[in-house]
A and B are shown apart, each in its own frame.
Chain A
Amino acid sequence: MPMYQVKPVSPGDIKIDLPTCMYKLPNIHAQGMNCNEHALQNGEVDPALKALEDRQDEVLRRLYELKTMVDGLTKTVSTPDADLDVTTLSHAPAESVFRGTADLDSLLGKDLGALRDIVINANPARPPLSLLVLHGLLCQRYQVLSSVHLHSSVSGVPPPLMSCLGPRHIDNYARHRFQLGFTLIWKDVSKLQMKFSTQNMCPIEGEANVARFLIRLLGAEPQDPVAATQMDSWIDTAVFQLAEGGNKERAAVLRSLNAALGRSPWLLGQEFSLADVVCACCVLQAGQTSSAPANVQRWLKSCQNLGHFDCVYPLLQ
């Protein structure tokens, strides 16, 4: 598909008296033109052009998809009873977004030769228990190089905190063998902080947000937006009301936990999720284990039985 055509600047068949002292080459202009004409006559298209076309088609297709999605959303928002739409809607995007989440390259950007190191600055006064649990889960999934450091702004921490990521990996001399770095720095910070790529990403603050980041690396966040929302809600409740709240708030949260756990084994139903990790860690940290209601007690016990929480117990006084 030529966009415009130009007349040949010189006809290919000019007759010139050529000197005979030099060697001859075939006329390249004539040849080239023949070639082009040939291609166009056969209806063949330049591959670059074809790729561009394909890309445009793809963009248009995605735009249409988006449009239908937004249309669907407007419908649900304007007519709250139309819950049928939610389910049909929710699955399509959910699958496309979350498919293949466990691929570190797509999640964290391409490996440029540097170890992809997640750096977490935590205050030793409030060890981020839930992150330790997630670290254990990450270790099961990936080759993780874990290290604990003490920043000079802190004069010292109890030995269990220095060994909270388990024993040093035997291969730690070869950093290139690892897929992921997990560096915990005990530092005098007011809020827990995670740094990953300092150029492309701002630091993530708060234990809950870092937990949400880490769970994505496991590809273990709920696929269903309703469950995802519930999970977020439980995490926020745990962090703002259990960990930072007063006695009254804590009691209220324990009551609602108890109620939810009476209905299902885990907070989000039949499956263990990040909500369970964060809430359990907050209950444990608040020291409410013994005074907790029955369902909560049973739930804590099941958490413990999973084995993911083994690293947390030594840190509880």
Chain B
Amino acid sequence: MVGMLFPHLSEKLPGRKLKKRAGEEEQQAQSKKALKKQQKEAEKAAKKAEKQAKLAAEQQETDEDDFAKDRYGICPMVQSQQKLDRVLVRVQDLTPEKAEQQIWVRARIHTSRAKGKQCFLVLRHQQSTVQALLAVGDRASKQMVKFAANLTKESIIDVEAVVKKVEQKIESCSQQDVELHVERIFVISQSEARLPLQLEDAVRPEGEGDEVRNGGEGRATVNQDTRLDNRVIDLRTTTSQAIFRLQSGVCQLFRDTLINKGFVEIQTPKIISAASEGGANVFTVSYFKTSAYLAQSPQLYKQMCICADFDKVFCVGPVFRAEDSNTHRHLTEFVGLDIEMAFNYHYHEVIDSITDTMVQIFKGLRDRFQTEIQTVNKQYPSEPFKFLEPTLRLEYKEGVAMLRAAGVEMGDEEDLSTPNEKLLGRLVKEKYDTDFYVLDKYPLAVRPFYTMPDPNNPKYSNSYDMFMRGEEILSGAQRVHDAQLLTERAMHHGIDLEKIKAYIDSFRYGAPPHAGGGIGLERVTMLYLGLHNVRQTSMFPRDPKRLTP
């Protein structure tokens, strides 16, 4: 009845049965699963045993059949046990002229890639890389290739190999025309397997890492802090190698040029009793029972040397600034290249000397460090640095007029703000096509008390800034060399005369007219290469937030 009245119900009734059946099936399935599990486990065990057997066999094989046993291995730690007469060839010297020679090379493992019976290594030394090849054959055994393939990246190895010319250029290496066919390979120092950062990631060109956001194939980059925390590894990258080699070049060219010009290099104390510029921005250090300061500029001592008839002096040394500014171009400790020079009649003699030194540095870098510049450009592309000889000199008033013509509103005696500096740099470059120029005759109000006022206009001063790519690198002036005027100027600035007594006194016994300036080495390197952060050009940068490494 029910079935007739509600046919759909009658049809639904067997559902319970179904459920029951399903329960049974479930049970069955469970038992099946358990069976399978057991089976699997058994298989696993068998596999394990097999593997172990295989491993044991391999072990045996290595122990027994490795004909190349003496050709590879981990060297005992070099404690200078013996003095080998072995000549190590530098990677950068591996050229086609060395083809077919058997040589020894010491290098780091940059990358390694095993492929069946072959293993490709890229060996790196400083900025150069070369491809090395191990293949199972009569020289290398299977085990040896395996050993090579398992070496950790960044390990230092000694390799004996035959240099071979290659038909197709190896694009990924700096030595593109040769490769090494490895005959012996020994580990000198092993690296840990996990690196805090990968070197390939650290040299990836700017912007490539950003592709993730655009939906492209994202690739890792290393951020600034990771780099700086692991500076030792970061410094190994080709880019860092090139940057610091170039920086060393800047220093050397600076010294050479100035020595040629008859300058004397001096050393000045870094612990001083009084702040040279009135007291702000200096670090205090405890000094026995009292406190002392870290020098924020060697200026006082440079000037004293001038008063002591050294005529032209320069010094290269650390400078400390306790400025809590976290910008791309401020450091709390940096290397200052300082110049001070007595002149005959006009402080432009000094400007000419300094600008010529800079031009000599730029020319030297352009002519001698082209490979380094290219290397850095690969990661951080920038336009080549352009300059004029003799250097372009504009006056502050002109700069202000140029800015005003470009729509900037600023007062005559206002200091240049950083964006205005940059803009002026762009305007000057547009007209004169130079990345380096001098801005002369700053308003007196924006310069320190020891700046010589302009003889014709009391609003201005005999002071100058030099700019590279629109950023200030040098600030200098003719100094007041007259104790009387110096006292007046200091009082005008509200400086406690007691604190600068020693400074003023040094001009009481006759002082030649002089001028000078200080350059930041890190900034010069950064701006020459068109980098964007001064931390890239400081080996172990110090800023308000970083004191290590």
Given contacts A119-B431, A187-B433, contact A173 B346 (CB under 8 A): yes
Asked if B507 is at the interface of the complex by the 8 Å CB criterion, the answer is no
- Asked if A113 contacts B400 (CB within 8 A), the reply is yes
Asked if A199 is at the interface of the complex by the 8 Å CB criterion, the answer is yes
- Asked if B389 contacts A195 (CB within 8 A), the reply is no
- Asked if B400 contacts A198 (CB within 8 A), the reply is no
Distance in Å: Cβ of A9 to nearest Cβ of chain B: 41
Q: Which of B70-78, B402-410, B492-500 contacts A (4 or more CB under 8 A)?
A: B402-410
State which size class the interface on A falls in. Answer: 20 to 34
- Asked if B431 contacts A195 (CB within 8 A), the reply is yes
Distance in Å: Cβ of B22 to nearest Cβ of chain A: 85
Asked if B467 is at the interface of the complex by the 8 Å CB criterion, the answer is no
Bound-state CA distance A151–B386 (Å) is: 7
Select one of B366, B395, B433 contacting A175, CB under 8 A.
B395
Bound-state CA distance A256–B427 (Å) is: 46
Bound-state CA distance A297–B475 (Å) is: 57
Task: Find chain A residues with CB under 8 A from B384 CB.
Answer: 152
Bound-state CA distance A112–B385 (Å) is: 30
Given contacts A173-B348, A198-B430, contact A149 B398 (CB under 8 A): no
Distance in Å: Cβ of B120 to nearest Cβ of chain A: 42
Q: What total of A-B pairs shows CB separation below 8 Å?
A: 63
Given contacts A115-B398, A187-B433, contact A153 B404 (CB under 8 A): no
- Asked if B395 contacts A176 (CB within 8 A), the reply is yes
Task: Find chain B residues with CB under 8 A from A113 CB.
Answer: 397-398, 400-401
CB-contacts of A143-159 with B (<8 A): 147, 149-153
Asked if B222 is at the interface of the complex by the 8 Å CB criterion, the answer is no
Asked if A258 is at the interface of the complex by the 8 Å CB criterion, the answer is no
Interface 0/1 of A188-218, CB less than 8 Å to B: 0000000101110000000000000000000
Bound-state CA distance A286–B14 (Å) is: 113
Asked if B390 is at the interface of the complex by the 8 Å CB criterion, the answer is yes
List the A residue with the shortest CB-CB distance to B347: A173
Asked if A70 is at the interface of the complex by the 8 Å CB criterion, the answer is no
Asked if B387 is at the interface of the complex by the 8 Å CB criterion, the answer is yes
Asked if A121 is at the interface of the complex by the 8 Å CB criterion, the answer is yes
Interface 0/1 of B200-215, CB less than 8 Å to A: 0000000000000000
- Asked if B433 contacts A151 (CB within 8 A), the reply is yes
Bound-state CA distance A149–B432 (Å) is: 10
- Asked if A152 contacts B404 (CB within 8 A), the reply is no
Distance in Å: Cβ of B412 to nearest Cβ of chain A: 9
Asked if B239 is at the interface of the complex by the 8 Å CB criterion, the answer is no
Bound-state CA distance A153–B362 (Å) is: 12
Distance in Å: Cβ of B410 to nearest Cβ of chain A: 12
Given contacts A112-B404, A176-B397, A199-B405, contact A119 B388 (CB under 8 A): no
- Asked if A114 contacts B402 (CB within 8 A), the reply is yes
**B: number of interface residues (CB 8 Å):** 31
Bound-state CA distance A114–B456 (Å) is: 17
Bound-state CA distance A183–B430 (Å) is: 14
Asked if A185 is at the interface of the complex by the 8 Å CB criterion, the answer is yes
CB-contacts of B350-368 with A (<8 A): 362-363, 366
Asked if B434 is at the interface of the complex by the 8 Å CB criterion, the answer is yes
Task: Find chain A residues with CB under 8 A from B388 CB.
Answer: 149-152, 185
Asked if B292 is at the interface of the complex by the 8 Å CB criterion, the answer is no
Interface 0/1 of B394-425, CB less than 8 Å to A: 11011011101110000000000000000000
CB-contacts of A115-157 with B (<8 A): 115, 117, 119, 121, 147, 149-153
Interface 0/1 of B429-472, CB less than 8 Å to A: 01111100000000000000000000010000000000000000
- Asked if A152 contacts B398 (CB within 8 A), the reply is no
- Asked if B431 contacts A198 (CB within 8 A), the reply is yes
- Asked if B397 contacts A198 (CB within 8 A), the reply is no
Asked if B103 is at the interface of the complex by the 8 Å CB criterion, the answer is no
Distance in Å: Cβ of A184 to nearest Cβ of chain B: 11
Bound-state CA distance A173–B345 (Å) is: 12
Task: Find chain A residues with CB under 8 A from B427 CB.
Answer: 198
Asked if B392 is at the interface of the complex by the 8 Å CB criterion, the answer is yes
- Asked if A119 contacts B432 (CB within 8 A), the reply is yes
Distance in Å: Cβ of B298 to nearest Cβ of chain A: 28
List the B residue with the shortest CB-CB distance to A113: B401
Distance in Å: Cβ of B386 to nearest Cβ of chain A: 5
Bound-state CA distance A175–B351 (Å) is: 15
CB-contacts of A85-129 with B (<8 A): 112-115, 117, 119, 121
- Asked if A185 contacts B395 (CB within 8 A), the reply is no
Task: Find chain B residues with CB under 8 A from A149 CB.
Answer: 388-390, 392, 432
Bound-state CA distance A198–B366 (Å) is: 28
- Asked if B398 contacts A175 (CB within 8 A), the reply is yes
- Asked if A114 contacts B366 (CB within 8 A), the reply is no
CB-contacts of A220-236 with B (<8 A): none
List the A residue with the shortest CB-CB distance to B427: A198
Bound-state CA distance A150–B386 (Å) is: 11
List the A residue with the shortest CB-CB distance to B351: A173
Distance in Å: Cβ of B328 to nearest Cβ of chain A: 25
Task: Find chain A residues with CB under 8 A from B394 CB.
Answer: 175
Distance in Å: Cβ of A250 to nearest Cβ of chain B: 33
Distance in Å: Cβ of B363 to nearest Cβ of chain A: 8
Bound-state CA distance A119–B389 (Å) is: 15
List the A residue with the shortest CB-CB distance to B402: A114
Bound-state CA distance A150–B406 (Å) is: 27
- Asked if B432 contacts A185 (CB within 8 A), the reply is yes
Bound-state CA distance A149–B434 (Å) is: 11
Distance in Å: Cβ of B544 to nearest Cβ of chain A: 36
Task: Find chain A residues with CB under 8 A from B346 CB.
Answer: 173
- Quick one: which of A113, A152, A153 has the most chain B CB within 10 A? A152
Bound-state CA distance A147–B434 (Å) is: 15
Distance in Å: Cβ of B424 to nearest Cβ of chain A: 11
Task: Find chain A residues with CB under 8 A from B401 CB.
Answer: 112-114
Bound-state CA distance A115–B394 (Å) is: 9
- Quick one: which of B346, B366, B427, B432 has the most chain A CB within 10 A? B432
Task: Find chain B residues with CB under 8 A from A176 CB.
Answer: 395, 397
Distance in Å: Cβ of A162 to nearest Cβ of chain B: 9
Task: Find chain A residues with CB under 8 A from B393 CB.
Answer: 175
Distance in Å: Cβ of B87 to nearest Cβ of chain A: 38
Select one of A117, A150, A185 contacting B433, CB under 8 A.
A185
List the A residue with the shortest CB-CB distance to B400: A113
- Asked if B397 contacts A121 (CB within 8 A), the reply is no
Task: Find chain A residues with CB under 8 A from B392 CB.
Answer: 149
Bound-state CA distance A174–B347 (Å) is: 12
Give residues in B with beta carbon < 8 Å to A.
Answer: 346, 348, 362-363, 366, 384-390, 392-395, 397-398, 400-402, 404-406, 427, 430-434, 456
Nearest 10 CB-CB pairings of A with B: A114-B401, A114-B398, A149-B388, A113-B401, A112-B401, A150-B389, A198-B430, A152-B387, A198-B431, A113-B397
Show 19 A/B contacts (Cβ-Cβ < 8 Å), sorted by A: A112-B404, A114-B397, A114-B398, A115-B398, A117-B431, A121-B433, A147-B390, A149-B392, A151-B386, A151-B388, A152-B385, A152-B388, A173-B348, A175-B395, A185-B388, A185-B432, A185-B433, A197-B405, A198-B431
What would 16 more interface pairs be, CB under 8 Å, given A112-B405, A176-B395?
Answer: A112-B401, A114-B401, A114-B402, A115-B395, A117-B431, A119-B431, A121-B433, A149-B390, A150-B389, A152-B362, A152-B387, A173-B348, A175-B395, A183-B432, A185-B432, A195-B430
